Amino acid sequence: MFRIERYQISNDNLKNWVKFIWHFESDNVDVYHKLLPMDSVDIIINLADDMVYEIESTERITAPKVHVNGLRSQHSFIHQKGNIDVWGISFYAFGLYPFINKSLSSIQNEIIDLNSLSVPLADKLNVALIHKTAQCKIKSIMESLDSELETTDSSLLRTQIIDDFMKTDDIPISMFCSNNGISQKTFERFVISMTGFPPVKLRQIKRYMMASNQLLFNKSAKIPEIVYDNNYTDQAYFTKECRKFSGVTPRTFRLEKNTVIENSTYI
In the prediction, which pLDDT does 31 show? 86
Cα 137 from Cα 122, distance rounded (Å): 15
pTM: 0.93
For residue 22, give its domain range: 2-150
Task: Report yes or no on 36 lying in a domain.
Answer: yes
Task: Report yes or no on 51 lying in a domain.
Answer: yes
Task: Report yes or no on 189 lying in a domain.
Answer: no
Task: Report yes or no on 78 lying in a domain.
Answer: yes
Write the pLDDT tens digit of every residue in 183-212: 999 999 999 999 999 999 999 999 999 999
Write the pLDDT tens digit of every residue in 28-71: 889 889 999 988 999 999 999 999 999 876 788 999 999 999 89
Write the pLDDT tens digit of every residue in 101-122: 999 988 888 899 999 999 999 9
Task: Report yes or no on 197 lying in a domain.
Answer: no
Give me the number of domains the chain comprises: 1
Inform me whether the pLDDT recorded for 1 exceeds 70: no
Task: Report yes or no on 249 lying in a domain.
Answer: no
Task: Report yes or no on 68 lying in a domain.
Answer: yes
Task: Report yes or no on 93 lying in a domain.
Answer: yes
List the CATH number of the domain containing 44: 2.60.120.10
Neighbours of 198 (CB within 10 A): 17
